[in-house]
Amino acid sequence: MPIRPLELHPDRLLPADPATRTLARELYRSVADLPIVSPHGHTDPGWFAGNETFGNATELLLVPDHYVFRMLYSQGIAMEDLGVRNRNADPRAAWRLLAENYFLFRGTPSRMWLDWVFAEAFGISVQLNAETSDLYFDTITEKLATDDFRPRALFDRYGIEAIATTESPLDTLEHHAAIRAENARPGGWQGKVITAYRPDPVVDPEFVSDQGGFRENLATFSEVTGEDCLTWHGYLAAHRQRRRFFAQMGATSTDHGHPTPRTADLSAAEAEALFTKVSKGSFTAEDAELFRAQMLTEMAGMSLDDGLVMQIHPGAFRNHNARVFERFGRDKGADIPSRTEYVANLKPLLDKYGNEPGLSVILFTLDESTYARELAPLAGHYPCLKLGPAWWFHDSPEGMRRFRRMTTETAGFYNTVGFNDDTRAFLSIPARHDVARRIDCGFLAELVMEHRIEDWEAADLARDLTYNLVKKAYRL
């Protein structure tokens, strides 16, 4: 295994045709250094509140990144050996497993993001493989111990203008409070870290986690809010109260990770009866689905009142691998996308609120067959609907290209909302935004080459797709 140089080519991800590439390069240069606006993600606000150093290479780059360990697992490598839910794993040995199997990532976005992190963030100039495994582990681990690699320093270094984290209504948001206190302190750190309201743990009757399920969460919800969350009235009031509190902590959006985008518009009496059923814990799968559906419509109504932008992230079959879920818990690479239907499912919500000028709902999908068929036509008509970017498994060069090719002709660019990195892998954030900028500029260059837009329009659009649309859509 020879040692090979690691270099990020300046033209990476730009179209191969020389004239198109020249155009794309020019567009990319005009947006490459714009600030990063990250309106949806899963970083830990505690990082920015405490500003502690990160641990070692494995702890930062391998253990929390389910994109990485799911691929290794798919080839028979035990997650325990990678340090996932296993504090006894040797981090250096775990890193070596990644290094030896790094070829598995050829052609994947993880490879591009990681190489960016290695080269740009850590200044490593050789490729990762068995030979260089220890060099990597030591270099990264050493640098992480320095002040330059503390969370706030990295935040500033990568030009993050604002970042949103995602919290449950049960979260106290103490880290966000601490960050805001720091922001307000004379001479204090000025990084903008906001929260987003993700009520799944108290909205989904089938929610399960190590920390307890739906009924335990309702009890906590009552404690946290002082409302009686075992009554429909108190439960809704608790949501309103926490949404207000989240907004005070900077939130401009809510987020809903439902299995499907089903919505409902029950009468008050029906909704109350349904809530009674699910809150008592004796309900069918259909009851649970209907309750989630009703809650999307309730949340849309609350958004009309408090102005929070609503994000709907449907279509993941969570925790598909029963054994992995038992042993390792949620978010361990075993969430699998499912076929998703929007047209009938969204109708109840849209019938009620779809023409309200104050409402903004951002739709995501894991089912690309809905891009051209359902989502672009919906967003190209309803004033309240916008399309979130290519998401999760589709947050990749080919995935982003398909998104643009399949949505632009019907929804245009201005019913989309810029890029989301949606990650808990902090250092991959600039890498991911860089990929998105390159792919968008390549797509725009192709449109110019085919004389479908003019060059000055492409320049406008590059800036809009990178910076302006996200700020507008998320009311930042």
Site for a second copy in 307-326 (CB under 8 A): 317, 320-324
- State the SS3 of the chain: CCCCECCCCCCCCCCCCHHHHHHHHHHHHHHCCCCEEECCCCCCHHHHHHCCCCCCHHHHHHCCCHHHHHHHHHCCCCHHHHCCCCCCCCHHHHHHHHHHCHHHHCCCHHHHHHHHHHHHHCCCCECCCCCCHHHHHHHHHHHHCCHHHCHHHHHHHCCEEEEECCECCCCCCHHHHHHHHHHHCCCCCCCCEECCECCHHHHCCCCCCCCCCHHHHHHHHHHHHCCCCCCHHHHHHHHHHHHHHHHHCCCCEEEECCCCCCCCCCCHHHHHHHHHHHHHCCCCHHHHHHHHHHHHHHHHHHHHHHCCEEEECCCEECCCCHHHHHHHCCCCCCCEECCCCCCCCCHHHHHHHCCCCCCCEEECCCCCHHHHHHHHHHHCCCCCEEECCCCHHHCCHHHHHHHHHHHHHHHCCCCECCCCCCCCCCCHHHHHHHHHHHHHHHHHHHHHHCCCCCHHHHHHHHHHHHHHHHHHHCCC
Smallest gap from Cβ 196 to a second copy, in A, equals 24
Q: Applying CB under 8 A, does 374 fall inside the site for a second copy?
A: yes
Residue number with CB closer to a second copy (23 or 224): 23
Among 119, 153, 177, 343, binds a second copy (CB under 8 A): 343
Distance from C-alpha of 396 to C-alpha of 305, rounded to nearest angstrom: 36
Taking CA atoms, 404 is separated from 4, 311, 415, 418, 440, in Å, by 35, 19, 12, 11, 8
Q: With contacts defined by CB under 8 A, name the span among 131-139, 195-203, 283-291, 449-457 that binds a second copy.
A: 449-457
Q: Map residues 405-424 to x or -, x wherever contact with a second copy holds by CB under 8 A.
A: xx-xxxxxxxx---------
Smallest gap from Cβ 293 to a second copy, in A, equals 17
Q: With contacts defined by CB under 8 A, name the span among 153-161, 207-215, 304-312, 337-345 that binds a second copy.
A: 337-345
Smallest gap from Cβ 25 to a second copy, in A, equals 13
Residue number with CB closer to a second copy (135 or 336): 336
Smallest gap from Cβ 35 to a second copy, in A, equals 23
Smallest gap from Cβ 305 to a second copy, in A, equals 19
Residue number with CB closer to a second copy (193 or 359): 359
Q: Applying CB under 8 A, does 452 fall inside the site for a second copy?
A: yes
Q: Map residues 70-109 to x or -, x wherever contact with a second copy holds by CB under 8 A.
A: xx-xxxx--------------------------xxxxxxx
Among 271, 309, 385, 429, binds a second copy (CB under 8 A): 385
Q: Applying CB under 8 A, does 357 fall inside the site for a second copy?
A: yes
Write out the binding residues for a second copy, residues 100-159 only, by CB under 8 A. Answer: 103-109, 111-112
Q: Applying CB under 8 A, does 300 fall inside the site for a second copy?
A: no
Residue number with CB closer to a second copy (174 or 317): 317
Bridging pattern class, strands 385-387 and 361-363: parallel
Among 227, 265, 368, 422, binds a second copy (CB under 8 A): 368
Q: Applying CB under 8 A, does 265 fall inside the site for a second copy?
A: no
Kindly determine how many residues on this chain lie close enough to bind a second copy according to the rule CB under 8 A: 94
Smallest gap from Cβ 431 to a second copy, in A, equals 13
Residue 54 sits at the vertex; the CA angle it makes with 53 and 57, to the nearest 5 degrees, is 140
Q: With contacts defined by CB under 8 A, name the span among 81-89, 117-125, 180-188, 453-461 that binds a second copy.
A: 453-461
Q: Applying CB under 8 A, does 380 fall inside the site for a second copy?
A: yes
Residue number with CB closer to a second copy (184 or 322): 322
Taking CA atoms, 188 is separated from 178, 184, 249, in Å, by 11, 7, 17
Smallest gap from Cβ 294 to a second copy, in A, equals 18
The residue to which tokens 């907004």 are assigned: 247
Residue number with CB closer to a second copy (187 or 456): 456
Smallest gap from Cβ 239 to a second copy, in A, equals 26
The residue to which tokens 């080839």 are assigned: 75
Residue number with CB closer to a second copy (9 or 87): 9
Q: Applying CB under 8 A, does 475 fall inside the site for a second copy?
A: no
Q: Map residues 242-261 to x or -, x wherever contact with a second copy holds by CB under 8 A.
A: --------------------
Q: Applying CB under 8 A, does 222 fall inside the site for a second copy?
A: no
Among 461, 462, 470, 473, binds a second copy (CB under 8 A): 461
